Structure 1
Amino acid sequence: MAPAGPSSCYPSRSQDLMNLDLSERQRATVGVALTILAACVILAAVGFVFWLLAKFVAEFSSVIMPLAVAAIAALVFKPYFDLLQRRLRLPPALAVAAVFASILVPLGAFAWFFGAKMVSQGNDVAARLPELIDAANRNLRAQLPEVIAFFERHGLDKALDSAIEGGRKQLVDGLQTFGSGALSAGAGVLSFVGSALSWVVLPVYFGFFLMADGWQLDRLKKHLPFLKPDTRDDVVYLIQQFVDIIVAFFRGQIIIAFLQGLLFAVGFSIVGLQYGFLIGLALGFLNIIPYLGNIVGLSVALPLALLQPEGGWVRVGLALIVFAIVQTIEGYFLTPKIMGERTGLHPMAIIVAIFFWGTALSGILGMILAIPLTAFLVVFWRLAKEKYVQELV
């Protein structure tokens, strides 16, 4: 009989580890440590993937942005497109044309009624910008004499005048040279043309997404045979939730922003805010990103109400009343009736999400998608916590 080898005489290291006599508390501690280590590895991997995604989006934003806008618009208008095909029995091409007409006709009517006033006020601002800045400087001294006196006592009045004059000169020069400066270099021309072309083909993307047959999520299960049935159902559920959040948010937010813009425009015009109609519509457009229009509006409308000709603290108070009325209408009527509690996010969470995603995705695309992405992560976490994340101890 052959002598036993060394491996049969001595237990292996793995066998030693398996035969360790650990107490219940030690086993729990080891389990928690391994779970935390695994969680850290998973978080690091997710963070790395997210970093790569953010870099990719930032690098190719000029291509991704039109695609994202077209896809979101197609999601919003897809039920209307299907209704035209089902009720009127229109072929896909005619249904797409009808959707385009349904979008362009209201926009054309809006431009017909309000475009002339917007263009007139915009041209007036551009033509009178140096004069308006000088008038604001004079009104600042008239409205805030104590502040100006403080500056003069401490020798800061010359610095203030220099700063105002420097800002005025830079603003005017920047506006005058923007068009030529933006296209001065060959690389700038190529970048501008490429960006413009990517937006020119947006209607093509929109029509293609409308006619695509891949929106039926039930078919997605056929393409995920490598997943367990329960996991497959969860993936489809999460995608459906994300689509529902996207559609509900943008469909509601666009309507709310449009109505807010009209309310701001009418209110500012009534209280006599200079260029109030143009400012109000611009604030409504910015409110597609929640709270952005309000933040910009307060920083623009209130100083303008104070420093414009015939301005003053009374005009500032009237502008604040307009803000309060519009926000009350939006908070207690427009949002509950149009959007409801679809996102389920606290206002502070919305603000943090806008700044986070705007930074993470390098710009306006992240800010626009901030609310749907955050709401989706909340839904994902609730599902993961309920079905996949077990108690650690």
Structure 2
Amino acid sequence: MGNFQVIIGLVGIVSIVASGLVLNFAQAVFIPLIIAWLLSYLFGPVVRFLSRLKIPTFLNVIVVLALFFGVCFLGALFLNARVLAFTEAFPRYYSRLLEIGKVLTTNLEFPPDFWSPSRWGVEVRGYLIDLSGSFVAIVSKLVMVIVFLVFLLLEAPYFEFKLQKAFSPVTAGTVKNIIDTISFQIGRYLSALALISAVTGMFVWFALEYIGVDFAVTWGILAFLLNFIPTVGSIVASIPPILVALVQFYPSYMPAVITSLALLTIQVTIGNFITPKVMGDRLNLSPVVVLISLLFWSLIWGVVGALISTIIAAIIKIVCENIPSLNFISVMMGSGKIYQKELEDRA
């Protein structure tokens, strides 16, 4: 019996490692598919509303694609404006960086040519080449996202009928209940997270605008986007504006200190007062599970994995919750506070 349990454990470990390798190897397909699936949640209500108006499905999809391309176009316009603003400000920042470089060279005994334009020109050229390659990869993935999104939206209205045809009434009802629960909880979670992220972004924008840090709007939007990454997103979003304040106001360090304190105050206030009231226990996930999921999916899929790590953990928990033999996994993934409250209410 003991040897059998050891074998089962080893098989489980090998299966997890093999699954991770497959997911990492096939990320070019899986990442666009997951993003398209999440976008289908976002645009699903639009499709259902138009369907109730007796508009054909393919026209609904065209409307959704128009909305999607409109958002992408506005994002491209904003990004272009930010790049132009940074290009105009670059000479000023470059001169400040040279001043800081001279101080560091003197105080920290860096090589004399460490900050020379020729040295950093080669480095910047390499980064630009890498960036151009990344841009091509992003465009190719965007095309795949659109293709997957179109097929998901075209298939969505008929999915329930396929369930009824494929399974018995009881099994079809169970599967539909799982899917509906996932849709409800994930949709509610994303809505609450979007609200909190928007509030965070606005506070960051207002605070940096008041302090006088350049590109305040950009840092506010960055805070909004990175706030979707659990735990580390808000920390990463705070680094660029602090560095910009350090260079912008050099040789005075006080604005950078004030910027750091302002961002810390915003994160602590929102994290301890606003988030608990808005989010509550929407997904009922243990913080340890959230952290492990973040680390695992970041390792497998990078930034995209970090963004969707909590959602994937929630989906696994919901599926296990609706399968009696796997219910114990759902319980172990849940928040201990919820179960403590349930036991206290029963007592």
TM norm structure 2:
0.74
In the alignment, structure 1 residue 56 sits paired with structure 2 residue 43: no
Task: Note the residue ranges of structure 1 that are not aligned, 5 or more in a row.
Answer: 1-33, 142-147
In the alignment, structure 1 residue 123 sits paired with structure 2 residue 82: no
- More displaced, 69-78 or 100-109? 100-109
Q: Name the larger-Rg structure.
A: 1
Could you tell me which of 86, 90, 97 is aligned with 2:55? Answer: 90
**C-alpha RMSD over aligned residues:** 4.0
How do 1:75-114 and structure 2 match up within 5 A?
75-86=41-52, 88-105=53-70
**1:253–1:288 contact (8 Å) kept in structure 2:** yes
Residue 40 of structure 2 corresponds to 74
Could you tell me which of 274, 278, 293 is aligned with 1:353? Answer: 293
- More displaced, 378-387 or 348-357? 378-387
In the alignment, structure 1 residue 213 sits paired with structure 2 residue 127: no
Could you tell me which of 297, 308, 317 is aligned with 1:369? Answer: 308
Q: How many angstroms apart in 1 are the aligned matches of 2:181 and 2:298?
A: 22
**Change over 3 Å in CA distance of 1:164–1:217 after alignment to 2:** farther
Could you tell me which of 23, 40, 45 is aligned with 2:11? Answer: 45
Higher relative contact order (CA 8 A, sep 6+): 1
In the alignment, structure 1 residue 295 sits paired with structure 2 residue 238: no
Residue 175 of structure 1 corresponds to 124
Residue 10 of structure 1 corresponds to none
**1:245–1:376 contact (8 Å) kept in structure 2:** no
Residue 165 of structure 1 corresponds to 114
**Change over 3 Å in CA distance of 1:163–1:382 after alignment to 2:** farther
SS in 2 for 1:165: coil
Residue 203 of structure 2 corresponds to 263
**Higher helix proportion, which one?**
2
**Change over 3 Å in CA distance of 1:66–1:73 after alignment to 2:** same
**Change over 3 Å in CA distance of 1:329–1:111 after alignment to 2:** farther
Q: How many angstroms apart in 1 are the aligned matches of 2:130 and 2:75?
A: 33
Q: How many angstroms apart in 1 are the aligned matches of 2:32 and 2:183?
A: 18
**2:203–2:220 contact (8 Å) kept in structure 1:** yes
Task: Note the residue ranges of structure 2 that are not aligned, 5 or more in a row.
Answer: 329-347
Offset of 1:219 from its aligned partner? 4.2
Q: How many angstroms apart in 1 are the aligned matches of 2:7 and 2:167?
A: 26
TM norm structure 1:
0.66
**2:51–2:57 contact (8 Å) kept in structure 1:** yes
Alignment coverage as a number of residue pairs: 327
In the alignment, structure 1 residue 316 sits paired with structure 2 residue 257: yes
SS in 1 for 2:156: coil
Residues 211-235 of structure 1 deviation map (CA, whole Å, 9 limit, x = unaligned): 213774574364346xxx8777655
Offset of 1:378 from its aligned partner? 3.6
Residue type of the partner of 1:131? S
Q: How many angstroms apart in 1 are the aligned matches of 2:17 and 2:204?
A: 39
Offset of 1:268 from its aligned partner? 1.2
